[in-house]
């Protein structure tokens, strides 16, 4: 079952003009795309400094490629409405792969699961000046039952409804597809799904399913074959299978006590390595951790409340050794937001860790009681993304915090899912599902 919408999300707000310069054999051509604000005239216009240049560019695939490589994905989606030729050309896999190899798209915003309406999502832009100020969606309704987001992965979302139907959804193009049932499907078995997608590697994605069939079994779905494959691998019940993280063609899970378990998708073999860091050797088991992909491997973000900081460790793609990558000092955040300190320690949740194009542009998103902030820790710069204190209901709940305010001291399996579990990246993507 597949539903395709050819037009971009109507809530997207785009820049009025975009100008880029191309070098030709004879001279330079400045090309400007004008986004009309007149609703009756929705198609973008292409102008240039030469009367015939626009016609030349519009008919030349080489020149169009050079232009499209310089434009944001969210703008390219709008340009699919210009003509059938542009629609086909922009959506071609070659364009998508070339874009992501040369200029990966950073997340523009975050989707948060709301508390007032079941599975209603709130959108928070990560950059106040970005071109998308309205949410691509507030609720999801692909089929019967409420739709819940499970994971975001490089522009695609993995979702599920009340009847254990799973979907892969692209919020940029508003396309989705429903996954077929896996081979040993049982309505009463506990199922955990993890999405794996990297458009710089392939235009296809995979989904790993873990379920109980005597032991914890694994199957892998490929969007290329549209079939599930049973693996000769099984997991123990100490692995936190609910929180798989994709990176460098592998899916990673944390396991008790302090192990990293990963499935290499090309080998389809499980591996594990001890998390040997000062936080594990000195302080024992890590209860509050956060996995994220880095350019060279995987990052482990650990909350070190004793020193009022976050310790960020990195393990390279060869999975050889852990080393410290960043010390994220929280003293400046505490100075600006003293409510972060309670008698039980520091009160916050790490909702996201984002690597910038430049090292100093990297930041974390912290959720405090009633607030969501962005902290560029290398620049010591703090920006407030959202204030929930004016909403009495959300303020009572502490913003997006659960009803019981989370502390490390009251760690329980029930509130485990609220640690880094209700925040999802919005990354513009033209990937087909």
Question: Residue 392: its pLDDT value, please?
Answer: 40
- pLDDT (mean) for 268-297: 79
Measured between its terminal Cα atoms, the distance across the chain in Å is: 11
- The domain locations on the chain are 2-91, 109-328+416-426
Assign 357 a pLDDT band (cuts: 50, 70, 90): confident
- When mean pLDDT is compared across 68-72, 337-341, 407-411, the lowest value belongs to 407-411
Assign 98 a pLDDT band (cuts: 50, 70, 90): low
- When mean pLDDT is compared across 204-213, 357-366, 410-419, the lowest value belongs to 410-419
Pairing of strands 297-304, 289-293: antiparallel
Q: How many helices (H) and strands (E) does the chain have?
A: 9, 29
Instruction: Compute the CA torsion angle 239, 240, 241, 245 (nearest 10 deg).
Output: -110
The set of residues, in sequence order, having a beta carbon less than 8 Å from that of 342 and lying 6+ positions away, is: 407
Question: Residue 371: its pLDDT value, please?
Answer: 83
- When mean pLDDT is compared across 22-36, 76-90, 230-244, 306-320, the lowest value belongs to 22-36
Residue 398 has pLDDT above 90, yes or no: no
The pTM score is 0.80
Question: Residue 31: its pLDDT value, please?
Answer: 54
C-alpha Rg value of the chain to the nearest Å: 23
- When mean pLDDT is compared across 188-197, 294-303, 406-415, the lowest value belongs to 406-415
Query: In whole angstroms, what is the distance from residue 243 CA to residue 138 CA?
Result: 23
Beta strands in 224-305 (DSSP E): 227-235, 245-247, 250-255, 259-264, 269-274, 289-293, 297-304
Residues forming beta bridges with residue 175, ordered by sequence position: 170
* 25-50 pLDDT per residue, tens: 444 555 555 544 444 444 455 555 55
The set of residues, in sequence order, having a beta carbon less than 8 Å from that of 356 and lying 6+ positions away, is: 106, 362, 363
Task: Please name which of 298, 176, 303, 324 lies closest in space to residue 245, comparing C-alpha atoms.
Answer: 298
- Token pair of 378, please? 């290398």
What sign has the CA pseudo-torsion 373, 134, 157, 404?
positive
Instruction: Compute the CA torsion angle 259, 260, 261, 263 (nearest 10 deg).
Output: -170
Is-contact 329 307, C-beta < 8 A?
A: no
Residue 203 has pLDDT above 60, yes or no: yes
- From residue 389, how far is each of 133, 141, 171, 207, 367 by CA, in Å? 21, 29, 29, 38, 13
Question: Residue 25: its pLDDT value, please?
Answer: 47
Question: Residue 364: its pLDDT value, please?
Answer: 93
Task: Please name which of 68, 318, 293 lies closest in space to residue 197, comparing C-alpha atoms.
Answer: 293
* 407-431 pLDDT per residue, tens: 433 333 333 333 444 789 998 888 8
Query: In whole angstroms, what is the distance from residue 131 CA to residue 75 CA?
Result: 9
Query: In whole angstroms, what is the distance from residue 2 CA to residue 163 CA?
Result: 17
Round the average pLDDT of the chain to a whole number and report it.
Answer: 75
* 132-182 pLDDT per residue, tens: 556 777 778 887 778 889 999 999 999 998 888 999 999 988 889 999 988
CATH (residue range 109-328+416-426): 2.120.10
């Amino acid at each position: 079952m597949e539903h395709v919408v050819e037009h971009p999300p109507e809530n997207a707000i785009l820049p009025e003009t975009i100008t880029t310069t191309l070098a030709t054999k004879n001279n330079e051509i400045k090309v400007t795309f004008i986004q009309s604000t007149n609703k009756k005239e929705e198609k973008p216009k292409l102008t240039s400094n030469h009367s015939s240049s626009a016609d030349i560019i519009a008919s030349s695939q080489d020149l169009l490629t050079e232009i499209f490589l310089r434009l944001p994905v969210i703008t390219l989606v709008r340009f699919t409405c210009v003509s059938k030729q542009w629609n086909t050309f922009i959506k071609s896999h070659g364009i998508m792969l070339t874009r992501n190899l040369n200029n990966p798209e950073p997340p523009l915003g975050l989707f948060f699961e709301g508390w007032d309406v079941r599975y209603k999502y709130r959108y928070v832009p990560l950059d106040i000046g970005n071109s998308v100020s309205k949410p691509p969606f507030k609720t999801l309704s692909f089929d019967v039952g409420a739709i819940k987001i499970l994971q975001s992965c490089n522009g695609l979302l993995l979702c599920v409804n009340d009847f254990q139907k799973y979907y892969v959804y692209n919020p940029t193009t508003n396309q989705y597809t429903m996954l077929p049932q896996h081979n040993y499907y049982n309505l009463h078995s506990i199922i955990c799904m993890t999405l794996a997608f990297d458009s710089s590697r392939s235009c296809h994605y995979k989904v790993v399913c873990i379920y109980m069939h005597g032991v914890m079994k694994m199957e892998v779905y490929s969007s290329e074959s549209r079939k599930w494959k049973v693996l000769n691998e099984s997991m123990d019940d100490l692995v936190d299978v609910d929180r798989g993280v994709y990176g460098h063609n592998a899916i990673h899970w944390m396991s008790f006590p302090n192990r990293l378990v990963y499935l290499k998708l090309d080998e389809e073999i499980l591996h594990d390595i001890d998390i040997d860091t000062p936080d594990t050797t000195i302080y024992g088991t890590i209860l509050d951790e956060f996995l994220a992909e880095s350019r060279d491997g995987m990052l482990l973000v650990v909350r070190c409340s004793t020193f009022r900081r976050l310790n960020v460790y990195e393990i390279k793609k060869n999975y050889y050794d852990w080393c410290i990558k960043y010390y994220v000092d929280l003293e400046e955040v505490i100075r600006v937001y003293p409510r972060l300190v309670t008698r039980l320690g520091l009160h916050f949740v790490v909702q996201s860790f984002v690597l910038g194009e430049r090292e100093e542009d990297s930041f974390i998103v912290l959720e405090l009681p009633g607030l969501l902030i962005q902290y560029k820790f290398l620049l010591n710069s703090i920006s407030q993304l959202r204030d929930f204190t004016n909403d009495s209901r959300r303020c009572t709940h502490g913003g997006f915090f659960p009803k019981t305010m989370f502390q490390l001291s009251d760690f329980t399996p029930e509130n485990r899912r609220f640690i880094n579990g209700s925040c999802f990246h919005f990354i513009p993507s033209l990937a087909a599902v």
